[in-house]
Structure formats: C-alpha cells, structure tokens
Structure 1
Amino acid sequence: MDMNTAKDKPVVCFGEILWDVLPTERKPGGAPMNVAYHLHKLGIKSTLVSAIGHDKAGADLVDFLHSIKLSANYVQVSHQQPTSEVLAKISASHEVSYEIVYPVAWDNIAWDTDFEPLITNAGALVFGSLSSRDVTSRETLYKMLKLATYRVFDVNLRAPHYSVAIITDLLNQADLVKLNVSELMLIAGWYDAGCKTERDCTDMLFTYFDFKELLITKGSSGASYYTPSFRYDYPAYKINVADTIGSGDAFLAAFLAMKLKNEPLETSLDYAAAMGAFITSQSGACPDYSKFDLDRFIWEKKFSGKSRLTAALKLTAH
C-alpha cells in the first residue's frame, strides 16, 4: 500500500460495539469501536461498521458515538438480537477477563451495497477475530477484505469464540497482524508445535502466511515490530496501572495514525507505546482526553527522571 495515497483516507473499523460492564459501572467498548475512537482523537477520520439491538442499551451507544463525533451511519439496528454487553472482571494484577454473550447484534452485520464505496475509498480496514464467530458477520467481513487495499488484523482471541480454521482464513487475508505475545505463541503452536521462542514463531508465521508486518504487544515488556527481514523492539512506558481494558486497541490506533501520516517507524512505535500506557493508566477503554493530554503525558514521561530518549532500541536484521 502507498501511504502517500492512504494518509488522507478514512480508516474503516469492522466488528463489535458493546458495553463493558465493570464492577462499579458500564463503559462503551469493543475493540473496533475503541480503535475508531482513538484514531478520531488523533485526527484520523474513522468509520465504525457494527450493529446494535433495538433497545435502550443500543440507543445509549448511539448517543455515545454522537457525543464523541463518530458517525453511526454504518451501525445497523437488529430487531432479532440484543445490544452486546460484556461482563469484565479485573484481577488483583489488573488483568481483565471477559464473559461474552452469544448471539448479539454484531454477530449479524449484514452486507450493504453502501459498504463497497466505503471500503474501496478507505486507507485501511481494521478487523478482529471476535466478530467473525457468526456466519453472517463473517461473510460480510470476507466481502470487505476482497475490496480493501490495506487489511489490519487485530487478533483478539476470546475462548471459545474462535476456531483454527477461521483464524487461518483471516491471517491469509491480512497485510498487518497485531496480537499479544500469548496469542503469538498459541497461534504459532497450531502450525508448528516446535515453536518455543518469539523469534522462531514469527519466522514460521512469515513463512506460512503472506502478511508483511507483525506487531506484538508485551505489556510492561514493550512491543516488537517485525517484517520478514527485520525486527524492531521498543520499551514500554512505566506507569501506575488502572486497568488494561482497551490498551492494545489504543496502541494499534496510535501506530496506524502515525503510519498513515508517513511518520518513521520509531515515531510510530513510540506514539503507540505512549498511547497504550496513557490508556492503561486510566479506567476503561475510551476515557475522555485530547491530543494535548496525550502529548503532555509523553513529555512528562520523557523528561521526568531518566529520559526515554536514552532507552535502548534494537533494530535487528534477520
């Protein structure tokens, strides 16, 4: 994909929109919605394609989209299935587990002829694995993938809502794959049980599939960017964790925002790491903030105490 032609085009985010029901409150969520939210905050036009139920929970989500100036024009309303609500449990170590109901409205995103110009004119299509669990949404996604010029697979394995066959299909149709290190090791093991290290697993996946970019998030250990020919490691920002809900989505949104603006790889990874940390330091996936708030967070982290400007970065040729 030529980023010079993509930088002024919108990003389409396909999949779930839902309520994350936390112990004391509920907050809007869903990986594609989170990515669209943060892209919008960073000045990238984004469009969400999803579905809600014909109920108050769905109407409240539409009100939220309007409040953050995201279009609901491609959010379908289902009269058969309810709006998705996910019970999120946060452990003492700040890890999050999810109880995801099936079926819900976003399992039935139907193909619409208006999707064709939307996708063909987009700079990127972001999609996950969760929204492909039902045949209706999956067939709609597959049609979109045939039209997209840059396909970003945001892996989000939530047992039992995935299969090896479907994940394989999606990997075969991706240009950039983003996943966490646990998902990397699990998926690589499906194809080669002998993969034991990160390097072995990434090498195997690049041999097995045609995607050209791989983003691996590692929590407090930072992140790594791979192509078939090189690896780039980037450290994490040190923060006090509120919860990890949506941190990976924020990371991806910031990386894409910089990539679509033709920023250097180091800049893209730094901004992604900062955004992931910034969201992790707050409650919920979509806290209210401005780009100024994020830039101030980066400035304070870089120039308080030991400067991140001296952090060790590794660019390794394969």
Structure 2
Amino acid sequence: MSEVTAIGLGEILWDVLPEGRQLGGAPANFAYQVNALGGTGVPVSRVGDDDLGREALDILQANGLCTDYVSIDPEHPTGTVLAELDKDGVATYTFPDDVAWDFLTCDDATRQLAERADVICFGTLAQRCPTSRQAIRQVLEAAPGALKVYDINLRQDFFTPGRIRDSLDRADVLKINDDELMMITGPFSLPSGQKEALARLLALHDLKLAVLTRGGEGSLIISPDGISDLPGEPVEVRDTIGAGDAFSAAMVLAYLKGWSLDEINRYAAQVAAHVCSREGAMTDMPPELRLK
C-alpha cells in the first residue's frame, strides 16, 4: 500500500481535553491513519510560529509523517479547540477564530504534491475563512486524477448550504455522520430515510460513494451499483475522537484495492472501533489491521 499517497488537507489543531491536550484536526488525523494502515499520508496545513506549532510538527514527525507541506504562519497562532466529552465519550468542540489554519496557502510545492496524489481528503471546517477556502480549491484543482473525499465535518456555524454544495460538486466520495445528515436534510430537501437521502446526494453530485457513519448503530455505504448496510462493531468506547477520520482512511485504502462494499464497510468499521477503544485520535494500529 505504500504506493498510495493520500493528502489530509485542512486544519491541524490541538484538542484541549479535561485531562490535557492532544494533537488532532480531521485532515491530520486522516493522514496519520493512512500512514498507520500502510499507505503514505501527508498533512497539508498551517501552524503558528509558536511552541504549540513546533510541538505539533515534532509529534507528526515522530509518528512518521512528512511535515514539508505544513507551513508556518508568523502572525496567527496554532489552532486549538476545546473538546468536551459526554458520558458516552462523544466529543463536542468549540473553535477559536483567526488561527494559522485559517490562512492556508497553496504554493508550488503543494501543487506538485497534489498532482501526484492518489487521494485528497478535505472538509468544511477549514473552509470557514476565504483564504483557506481558496487554497483548498486550488489544491483540489491541481489534482484532476486524485480521488477526492469530502468529509463534511460540520462544526458550530462554520458552514453554509452553498459551501457544502460547492464541496460536493468537487468531490468523488462523501463521508457524513448521522447527526450531520439530519442537519442538511431540510436545507437540501432530502428524503427522510438515510438510504434514500444518501442515494439522492450520490445522484445529484455524481459521487462514486456516499458513506454514512452511525456510531454504535453501524455504517452505510452506497455506490451507483450497490449498497452495504452493516451493524456496529462491539467495542468499549474510551472516546470517539478521530474515529470518523480512521473510518475514512480505511475506507479509501480498501476502495482503492477494489474490495466489495461489504468488505470496505466491515474493515473501516473495525479500524474505527479500534480507535474508539483508545484515547485520542492518533492511536496505535495493530498489525492485523494494516493493509499489506
């Protein structure tokens, strides 16, 4: 799997939890998990010229990730987010404004990386600022051959229907969870049923896959040719931070290997369940879950 290069495009930030802080951000988590599963994950992001930024780079490098495409912002601080866990380990987040990843840029080196990438995973949160939104579009446009995965990642009020539609039109794969699907059902005039709503999005935006994660209730994958609807994997949840990003990483790698929808769905769910059983997003990955 080392020949697969997958970009995690967007925010790198620190999750500030009651027991301390952990490095995260959905694109960075995605890149980490691609690496952990046997591919080559590359974060494309921005951190501040501060202690938190330097520590973030050190941690990424210590975990085997290339940081050549994480730029340094001399004016804005490294991103942080207050993460609060409920009794089931499910996180809610509060994001400060005007942090380094809001000012993401697309330079020549990043364009060259995008040109040879097999996968680019991007979300909505990192598009809240016009500067980073333009950079994300430029990276996507520089990669006509890459599989583009839109992890919708709706947070607070940092999204609009128009921004979501634009992202869907640039994507090949939609990854969404059940809460997020409910949030867009009204504005997008989607059917009330999950399968019907995913099928509508798949058809309207010419997607190759539409993927719904439902926590302990399992996951649903729809393609133009089939459907996979599987129950959840049994797991004792420590926290859910990064589980969706791990699902995305495993799903993409399995899809590129040509697996069936059920095989993709089951494998991605197993990887996500493992992450839920550990604290934080950048967890260890047992050898049996790595793709050879």
Note whether the superposition's TM-score is higher than 0.5: yes
Q: Aligned partners of 1:75, 1:112: CA distance in 2, in Å?
A: 11
Find the counterpart in structure 1 of residue 77 from structure 2: 82
Q: Aligned partners of 1:94, 1:133: CA distance in 2, in Å?
A: 27
Find the counterpart in structure 1 of residue 237 from structure 2: 241
Q: Confirm whether residue 202 of structure 1 aligns to residue 198 of structure 2.
A: yes
Q: Is the 8 A contact 1:53 1:80 kept in 2?
A: yes
Q: Confirm whether residue 256 of structure 1 aligns to residue 249 of structure 2.
A: no
Q: Aligned partners of 1:121, 1:161: CA distance in 2, in Å?
A: 30
Find the counterpart in structure 2 of residue 38 from structure 1: 33
In the alignment, residue 238 of structure 1 is paired with which amino acid?
Answer: P
Q: Is the 8 A contact 1:11 1:122 kept in 2?
A: yes
In the alignment, residue 160 of structure 1 is paired with which amino acid?
Answer: D
In the alignment, residue 62 of structure 1 is paired with which amino acid?
Answer: L
Q: Confirm whether residue 112 of structure 1 aligns to residue 107 of structure 2.
A: yes
Superposition deviation, residue 7 in structure 1: 7.8
The unaligned stretches of length 5 or more in structure 1 are: 1-5, 296-318
Superposition deviation, residue 229 in structure 1: 4.0
Q: Aligned partners of 1:293, 1:207: CA distance in 2, in Å?
A: 36
* TM-score normalised per structure 2: 0.94
Superposition deviation, residue 18 in structure 1: 0.9
1:152-301 correspondence to structure 2 within 5 Å: 152-192=149-189, 195-287=191-283, 289-292=284-287, 294=289
SS in structure 2 of the partner of residue 191 of structure 1:
coil
The worse-fitting range, judged by mean Cα deviation, of 69-78 and 228-237 is 228-237
SS in structure 2 of the partner of residue 190 of structure 1:
coil
In the alignment, residue 233 of structure 2 is paired with which amino acid?
Answer: Y
Q: Deviations over 1:266-300 (max 9, x none)?
A: 3222211111111111111112x2432647xxxxx
Q: Aligned partners of 1:207, 1:250: CA distance in 2, in Å?
A: 26
In the alignment, residue 209 of structure 2 is paired with which amino acid?
Answer: E
The unaligned stretches of length 5 or more in structure 2 are: none
Q: Is the 8 A contact 2:209 2:221 kept in 1?
A: yes
1:28 to 5, 23, 27: 23
Q: Aligned partners of 1:246, 1:14: CA distance in 2, in Å?
A: 15
Q: Aligned partners of 1:132, 1:278: CA distance in 2, in Å?
A: 29
Q: Is the 8 A contact 1:9 1:121 kept in 2?
A: no
Q: Aligned partners of 2:285, 2:228: CA distance in 1, in Å?
A: 29
Instruction: Let me know the Cα RMSD of the aligned residues.
Output: 1.6
Q: Is the 8 A contact 1:7 1:260 kept in 2?
A: no
Q: Confirm whether residue 121 of structure 1 aligns to residue 95 of structure 2.
A: no
Superposition deviation, residue 211 in structure 1: 1.6
Superposition deviation, residue 209 in structure 1: 1.7
In the alignment, residue 181 of structure 2 is paired with which amino acid?
Answer: L
Q: Aligned partners of 1:281, 1:290: CA distance in 2, in Å?
A: 11
Higher-Rg member (1/2): 1
Superposition deviation, residue 13 in structure 1: 1.1
The number of aligned residues is 288
The worse-fitting range, judged by mean Cα deviation, of 258-267 and 181-190 is 258-267
Q: Aligned partners of 1:41, 1:94: CA distance in 2, in Å?
A: 23
Superposition deviation, residue 264 in structure 1: 3.3
Q: Aligned partners of 1:142, 1:7: CA distance in 2, in Å?
A: 26
Q: Aligned partners of 1:276, 1:143: CA distance in 2, in Å?
A: 30
Q: Percent identity between the aligned chains?
A: 34
Q: Is the 8 A contact 1:7 1:262 kept in 2?
A: no
Q: Is the 8 A contact 2:255 2:264 kept in 1?
A: yes
SS in structure 2 of the partner of residue 231 of structure 1:
strand
Q: Is the 8 A contact 2:105 2:132 kept in 1?
A: yes
Superposition deviation, residue 117 in structure 1: 1.7
